[in-house]
Structures are given as structure tokens and as C-alpha cells.
Chains A and B, each alone.
Chain A
Amino acid sequence: MARIGVFICHCGENISATVDVEKVAREAEKLSGVGYAMDYKYMCSDPGQTKIIEAIKEHNLTGIVVGSCSPRMHEATFRKVAEKAGINPYLCEIANIREQVSWVHPKSDATTQKAIDIVRTLVQKVKRDSALFPIKVPVTKTALVVGGGIAGIQAALDIANAGHQVILVEKSPSIGGHMSQLSETFPTLDCSQCILTPRMVEVAQHPNITLHTYAEVESVSGFVGNFDVKVRLKARSVDLSKCTGCGTCWEKCPNKKIPDEFNAGLSFRTAIYTPFPQAVPNKPVIDREHCTWFLKGKCGLCAKNCPTGAINYDTQDEFIDLKVGAIVAATGFDIKHTDFFPEYGYGQFKDVIDGLQFERLASASGPTGGEIRRPSDGEIPEKIVFLACSGSRDKAKGIEYCSKICCMYTAKHAMLYKHKHHEGNAYIFYMDIRSAGKNYDEFVRRAVEEDDVHYIRGRVSRIYEKNGKLIVKGVDTLMNAEPIEIEADMVVLATAVVANQDAESVAQKMHISYDKHHFFAEAHPKLRPVETNTAGIMLAGACQTAKDIPDTVSQASAAASKVIGLFSADEMTREPVIAVVNRMMPPQFTTCTGCLLCMEVCPYHAIEREEIKDRRTGEILKVAAKVNAGLCQGCGTCVAFCRNKSIDLQGFSNQQMLSEVMALLNKPF
């Protein structure tokens, strides 16, 4: 038999000024199941809490209702009080008679009646509350970082430096990501590789970091603290333990005409190659799609010439299973290429290039050794036109968003060109200059004022070739929308930042939600910007949205701090307000029919298919839904969907909600 205690707070005069609190307590005492009721000036104060504890002990109460302020205010306080008095904290309910009664209604009988109704409702609810116990989930203190660009590198180093094991998985043969391709970085004009490569080496040498390059995540299952990850180690054809990285193999490789990804297609590489001289690990890989051995079954020059016998054509993809507690997704971004723009020649004009190609031209490690020369004939261009917002903020092209980094890098490109070639002319067509950031606007001003870069506010409608020149037809909207034509030697498109081509499948593998552009979705745009909706999976860098390096590094450190927080205890505690599927004696086992509609609607992938088997024969007796307590967040969407009420939400059960509705309307239940 329930013995509920009801405690009505005056909240000084906040409640008692409009609600007849004594009457509420008197009425509550009459309710069936109520063993004790009282009112007091400040329930949350120390003497108030003591009164509750004493009453629970003296009257042997089985649950309490506190009529006070909003549960958002003091639910935690009063649950602790219940716990101190020896009853389960989840057997405490708060009747909100301040924010939703005394503060919004005038002093009247109707107001007091409303308070009585609310208290009655919560008494009905608490009678049907069951004792709940916080869910303890063990935590595997190893983190997986997916993606070895600057975001992944930063996150991995931060987590590793905090003393935890990190496994870094990178799909290309070397870590470094896009940042390793950049020439100099805005707004300081630091050489990108000079600041990045020491970090790459630190990753390779860190005792807490295990690095898997040329590897991809195959599947992720499990839940926060306990993920099971399968990783595919792609066949490298080179034994990393034997290889010394001497370079004989790629010197001997006869297949020398493969477009070099690292140089954005501006130069060629061999079939056995290291992506760039500072690669980590600095050891080659065979590109099987282009290698003559794999295409025609002969050649074998690299194996013949390798001084250590490190080359093995027979290696196969390997799979490894990892157990990790948290995952940081740092899979990066891509850019649109020049072939996306019919109006600018579909990528067919050799001297119309994208921003990343310009970075390679301007980089000391690039195909021209840092001299800015046209791809078509290697001449130094006298006039370069830069087009900001190529594709970005263009609804017609399906990209409504701003790519964020282009205003800054276009200013940087123009500046670098002018620094290397003082006589040259740089024109920038722009829509708006968005240079918010520390020292960013100053940087753009410098381009205009010190380096004499011509900014033209307007769009370019067309680019075509004429007498070896690129004719750029645009408009200057600040000069009465006058059409202008520039004869350029080279055009650089600041093309839109987009999600990786495989972002959607990666997101699906890792259970990360994503937006229509396939950028990964954070749990809350403002208050939880680095977590995803799947507990234990964090985001870092441009896989979430277009970001510059400072923002990427900040987010990576933030993601790392979330992981370190998660790893700070051996077990993590979760709220027990979760859904459960009922279970009963055989032969019924459960009323669940296994339709698994709940599985479809669960936003957290917390529902699994369970096969109930005969213990002796292994025969499947029934298929039912099963809630993973580690993943469930307690929204209850499954409960409303369940066709035969087999799944229920602890703390907000079907019985409780119905009893609340009945009690509100003062009907027996």
C-alpha cells in the first residue's frame, strides 16, 4: 500500500500569496494513498529538507510529492532529499505550483483549485513510479579518431596527451589532410607545412597513438563507452617494417603519368609512390588501379630493385576489430572542381584553376617550386582574376551556404601572387567580403591597401578563350552595374567547400545524422556543437561544416575534451529514464510481436532485434525488440508508436500518463 507524503512549499510568499497552501495540504491529505501532508515556508531550505526527511522516516513514506517551483528548478534537490531519507530518488515528483500556478494567476479559489488538481495528478503519478537505478556503463578508455587531417591530428594528440590510448585511422597513405597541401595560411602567412609537419611527426612517435594509414572504418556497432569497430587495412603491397623509404622503387617505376592528387592534378606521380616528401609514414604504397603488375601481370621492377625486399604484390586487405569507448569523426571536406562550372568552361580551360590548385602553385613544395606559373604553358601570368563565391551562396547550383574560408584565402592568394610578382595585376570579383575573425579584416585591408589588389563587387557571367587570353565578362555593381571585361592570363575559382563524396555512407556507418549537403549534424547547433546525437561520437573539423584552421583546431580540442571527460571515470552513469520492452514467463516471453516499428522511428538507433532462443536446441522461439540502455535517451517516440504497448518508458509509463490525465479531470482510475 502506497503511503505518499505531500509537502507544499510557500516559497516565502511567492506561492502562498495567491494559493491557499494550507487548503492544498489539507485536500492532499484526503487523497487515497496519501499518508502525510504538510506545508512549510521554504521547503528547499535546510530546515525544510530536514522536515521532509523526518516525515519520510516517521511516517514510513513510500514516495513524495513536493508542491513547489518547477521541476526544472529543484527536482534534483528533492530527489537527493528522498535518497537521503532512504527512498529511491525516482519516487519523488514535483508539482509545479509556482511557475505554472501562483505566478500566472491571481489570488482566487480557481487558482487554489488548480494547485490542488496538480498535486492530485502528481500523487497519482508517484503511486505508479517504480524505483529506478542509475545505469552504469563501463567505459573502454581508448578513443578512435577517424581522419588524419589537422582536426584528427589535434584531437588525437590532445586525447593521447591526457594519457589515453588513441587509434587514428586515415584513408589515404599519409596523414596531413588538406592542410598539408596549403602554401601559407591566413592571416599570419605562416608556411602551412612548417606548422603542420611537426604535429604529424608527433602523432607518429606518440606512445599512446596507434596510427593506421591507408585504412577505412568498415562498421561501427555498440554504444557509448563500448563501441566495436571494424577497420579495413587496405592492401599496401609494401611491408612497412622492412621498407626504409629509400625511394628506389618510385625512381624505377615506369608508370610515371598518373595525375598527382597531392598536387591537385597539376603534376604526375608514379604507381608506387609516397604522397609527398614529408608524408607520415614516409613509406610508399602501390596504387593498384594504375600499377602495370596489377593491370597486366608483368613488370615487377619495384620488387626487383627494392634493397630490403619490402614489396609484396600478394598482400590482401586485412580487417581488424577494435574496442573503443569514444569516436571522433574528423573526416574533412572536399571542394567543387572547375568542371562544376559550365559558364567558366567546364574545367576545359587549363588556366582556369581552383583554389587548391593555386595553393599548390604557390607552395614551395609544389610542382613549380613555389613560382606562380600557368598550367598551360608555364608562363608567369601578368593578370590573374580571382572569383570568390564560385558555387557558394548560389541557390541555382544547390549550394546556399557560405563556404566561409574563400574570402580569406582569395585575399591571401592575391597577396601571395603580388608578393612573388610585383608587376602583376590581381583582380578579385566578390559578392561580400566576409572577414570576421581575429586579424582577418586587417589582413584583407592589407591586400587592398598595401598590395594593391583590385576588388570588384560583382559576379562573372562567362569566361572564354580568345587569342590565348581568358576573357572574363563580369559586372561591377558599385559602378552603376557597368559590364566589365578583363583579359586575364589565369583565373582562380574559389570553389565551394562541400562534404566528401563518401560522407553519406561514412555517416551511415558511424550512425551520425547529416544535413542535406551531407555535412555531419551536431547534437545542438549552439549548446552541443561537438557532440553528435549518438552518445560517444564527437565531431571535429570541416566534416561538420566549412571551417578554417583555427576553428577546426578549436573544435578538435573541444571534441578531445569531451572524450577525456567521458574517460575520466571507469563507469559512466546514465539517467534511467529509458524505454524497456516488457518481459514475462515462457512461453510468451514478451507481448512484443517483433514488428520493429520502434526500430525505424528511434532517432538514436537504440533498438535492436532480439532473438529469443530455446536454451537447449538454439531454436528461435520469438523475435522481439530490445532497448540498448547505453544508447536510449528516453524520448519515448517508440512508446507512442508501439502497436500493442509492449514497450514503455520508465518514469513516463503508459499507466502513469493515463493516471495523470484521469486525475487532472478528477476521475477515478
Chain B
Amino acid sequence: MAGGILPGRIQNRVTLRVRSVEPYSSELTAEQVGVIADIAEKYGSGIVHVTPRQTVEIPDIEEAYVDDINILLNGSGLYTGSSGRHLRNVIACSRWCLYNAFPITDLALQLNRRYRDRILPGKTNISLSGCDFSCVRSRTSDIGVIARADIELTDKKCKKCSLCVKEPLGCQVDAINVSDDGVSIDTDRCIRCGFCSNICKPETIRVRLRSFDIFLGGCGGIKPREASYYKSISSEEEVLAVIDNVMSWYEELADEGERMRDVIARTGLEAVGG
């Protein structure tokens, strides 16, 4: 069914899948939480489900009321969507997480605003991760982005606060050593998550270079597949351009219903070009 209106469990009832496009897409405002609660109470059965793609589902809605409900939703930046053979909600990890090479929610928001529910040959998931841990599963999405922060040591004196290594947080891959001589970094172990530079107050550790790794053709479902590494790029604008290019390639080459994984299996990653 179209645009976030899903078949329900009872006849003549549907489930609404609700996503936010204003002011954020990975977060809801207090007002939006209130609107969703009101709709679930008045039109649904008093419950909602939060999905892994940062949308909220409200079940047991009578189809006849969907138009009225859309007016309520739209008024606070909410829309039904993210279903069917479309681009799904672009998800991003929390911008408040300390392991954050880049506050990637802004990029997700831009993509959601630009391409909302774009029709594509098959369902398409784009997931943006702020660091290597990829909590939003960039390695098993049609298009996955992982932000990287190459770090360097500056001449600012290390205060030996040890926040960069102290449990339970701290460097998760034993790449940092804090001793009487100061701090040293093992760049072979470093996964470029940006944590140390985020937490270092005296700026002894600083980001030298930010980049984004792009992965393509992963998916979950009945035949799950890990994505293939595609390329690395250096700016937000390039990320947007690459994603635009990839979607055009997909539209051109995919048969109806095929996922990117299937197209890559047929044509190889080289066909993506760019």
C-alpha cells in the first residue's frame, strides 16, 4: 500500500507509518510526541510502535479518517511514508553520542527532505553512521555511509585527564596510550571514530581530516547480504552527489522489484561509475 499506509490486522483498519521531516528526522519534538499520542488515542487503539528506521507506527486506524489525520500530522512536520518500492526513511545515529566522527543526522535530514519517498525500482534503505560501530547498520543497507575522523596530535600539552582511555567509555580498540610522557596513538589500531578528539579538552588530539566511506548493496530480509565497499569521499556535498548518482544508476539498471544487491550481482560495482 502507498505512502506509509499499511494493511492492518482487522478489516478496514490500517496502520500508519509516520516519519518526521521538520524540524528533525532522527528525533521527535515534544509537540510531535503529543500529536502522535493524540492520534493513537482518538483514532487508534492507544498504542504505537517505534520502528528500527526511526518512524512510528500507529495501528488500527479506520481508513476513512486518514485524510483528517494527515492534516494533524502535517501541521507539526510529520508525514506518513517509508513503505513500498520507495526510498525509505534515511536513518542516522544520535548526534549526542560521544563516538561521533561527524554529526551525521544533519545529512540524513537533508536527504529526507530532498528525496522523501522517492519512487525507486525496489525498497531502498540508506543508513548513515557517525562512526565505525555503525549502530544504524550501514554495512547491511542498500546505501551505507560511515563517517571517519583521521586524528593527529597537536603541540597542546596533554593534561593526562585520561578521558580518552578511561572505562567504561574511552578508546574501544586500545589505540591510545597515556603515560608520563603524554599521549600516543597507534594509527594501525585506530578505527577513526573521533571519540578521543571529541573528548579532549586541551585539544592535544584533534581531527586532521574527515571523510566518508560509502558501502553499497547490503540488505536484510529473506536473503541478507553484507554491503560492498564502494569509495571514500571527503565532503558532505560529495556524499549527496554520490548518493544521487547511485540512485540514478539503480533506477536505470534495476528490474521492477530488484534490490541494489541484485543489480550489483548482475553488473558489478564498476557499473555504478562516478
A binds B: no
